[in-house]
Amino acid sequence: MSDNSEIIPLVNGKMLEKCVGRLVKFPCKVLQCCRNTAKVLSTDNLTVDIHFENEPDFEAPLVEIKGAVVSPTTIAMESFSYIADGPELEDINNIILILHDPMMLPLTYGSLGVSLL
């Protein structure tokens, strides 16, 4: 990993408040989709609004949103990918917490690692 400037942090709902203006990866469960907004449940059980220009066809409930954090409860989606069946939101949240543990930050995010906990 030679260029840390392109690292996009994997975050939960609580971490969004420290990421306003940043690009993040946000695993979540799609609850409702209407026009240009989806309501999703974060891995730490917070409700977040996902805004997009063209309504995506969420075929599976678990997705990872890549987008810019607009506010502590809103993400402007750039893209998304499906999360394979198997992991529960709580398990994904535990992984996120481990990745942001101060002892793990240098390994996870290199010199740009800043704790979002």
pLDDT tens-digit map of 56-108:
888 889 999 999 999 999 999 999 999 988 789 999 999 999 988 888 877 77
CA atoms within a 13 Å half-sphere pointing along the CA-CB vector of 28? 31
CA proximity to 48, closest of 15, 78, 22? 15
Q: Which CA distances in Å does 44 have to 4, 55, 92, 95, 109?
A: 27, 25, 9, 11, 21
The torsion angles phi and psi of 52, rounded to 5 degrees, stand at -150, 160
Amino acid type, 25: K
Q: What is the mean pLDDT of residues 22-35?
A: 95
Average pLDDT along the chain? 89
pTM (two decimals): 0.88
Distance CA(108)–CA(101), nearest Å, equals 9
Percent of the chain predicted with pLDDT > 70: 89
Strand 74-82 to 47-51 pairing = parallel
Is the pLDDT at 27 greater than 80? The verdict is: yes
Is the pLDDT at 18 greater than 70? The verdict is: yes
